[in-house]
Amino acid sequence: MKNRSCPAEVIERVRGEEGELQLQRRGQEFEFIFNGVFLMASYNGVSEKEMVSAALNIQPQSFPVPPFSGGEDTVAAAAKKDCALRVLMGGLGMGLGLQEALRFPGVARVDVFELEEAVVRWNRGPLKDLNGGALEDPRVNVFIGDIVEYLRKKETTLKSEVEQYDVIILDTDNGPGWLSRPKNEFLYSFQGTRLLKKLLLPGGRLSVWSSSPVPFYLSLLKSLFDNVWEKELLEKTGQTSYYYLAVKQAL
């Protein structure tokens, strides 16, 4: 991509919860660097946006029902859930996924968990124009903390007290196949995925970003959900990204 040849301007470098985090600008684009390694960039936002829009606007014709699924009824029921939607997002990033979620008028509430305070601050500052001031939307609740810890606490919560969501978006780390933070393994484990399913309402959707295809994770999702898809996307840079979309059976 043309902007990749521009020199990087460091906006801020901070010591975060898990290491050094850096925000830099390259031309008109922004990049996150984590412990000296490239983490994400605004020019790689195609998959981040589509994984959100697919979960919120799922259509049976767009995602053909695979042989292992329970049929189109589950998908059709999910597509009809178009009002007062509650969304849980793991990872704020540059706010592009959040911005996409807020485009849907049926979304009534978005709870966002972000580990790093600096990322939230950057979204309200240098990245505000990029994401359209998404954090200023009154439907958004931001929690600075670890979504892994949040989910582990839910394991011990009585079923009647568990708050459920229509959509859960996981854009955390590099996906299930390449972790920069070992603790995130729980998110993609059988135990963690089963818990995420429990937090979904009937007909709810789980959408998970990944930097590469992960066969074991696809198999895991198929063992727990009625309808599962793996989608490959081409970013503006020519790189490929992936996301997984799973639908919980409707009542």
- Residues marked active site are found at 171
Pairing verdict, β 20-26 and 85-90: unpaired
Q: Rounded to 10 degrees, what is the CA torsion of 98, 76, 231, 178?
A: 60
**For residue 133, is it left (φ>0), alpha (ψ between -120 and 50) or beta?**
left
Q: What is the DSSP string of 173-223?
A: TT-TT--SSGGGGGGGSHHHHHHHHHTEEEEEEEEEEESS--HHHHHHHHH
Contact 8/24 with Cβ under 8 angstroms? yes
Instruction: Answer for the pair 62, 48: CB distance below 8 angstroms, yes or no.
Output: no
**Which residues lie below 8 Å from residue 233, measured CB to CB, with a gap of 6+?**
46, 47, 50, 240, 241, 242, 243
The pairing of strands 107-114 and 85-90 is: parallel
